[in-house]
Amino acid sequence: MEPLDLTQAPPRSTRTQIPGIDCPMIARSIDKLRATLPGGNIGAYKIAGTTAMLLDGLGIAQSDLCAAIASAKDDREVAGWIAEHTTPQRLERVKEGLESARIADRAQMPGFFDRYPIARTLAEETPLLDMLDHDDRAAFA
């Protein structure tokens, strides 16, 4: 897959699904990791945080997934690679955790509102996945 420049456009939505895997954040994380490939630009985005939690929950090393992304021709190949390197149980636990997380769950974390000022404008019960999409829209308005 080609590297991405995330200073020009945001990664895909947290809710974008890729063929073969039913889990939020996968497409977005693929885009963020593509931005770390040679020729890419991750800009203000970070791997630490939700993407790192996703990878940890799946039991997949960032470097291994980056290598798979670099050699894949499309999302289907990456989905196949992920399916081969995790379990359905891990995938389901990660999905449930991502879908249940709310702003209120992170509000006490140091630096959270500095990193995501948009969170101050949203209800505390807003899903974190939706907050990230709001943050992208604000950054690229």
Q: Are residues 67 and 27 part of one domain?
A: yes
- CA-based torsion, 114, 4, 86, 95: positive or negative: positive
Rounded distance between C-alpha atoms, residue 57 and residue 95, angstroms: 9
Q: Are residues 109 and 94 part of one domain?
A: no
Q: Are residues 87 and 119 part of one domain?
A: no
Total domains, the chain: 2
pLDDT tens figures, 30-77? 999 999 999 999 999 999 889 999 999 999 999 999 999 999 999 999
The boundaries of the domain holding residue 123 are: 102-141
pLDDT at 141 exceeding the cut of 90: no
For residue 100, count CB atoms less than 10 angstroms from its CB and return exposed for 0-12, middle for 13-18, buried for 19 or more.
exposed
pTM of the model: 0.94
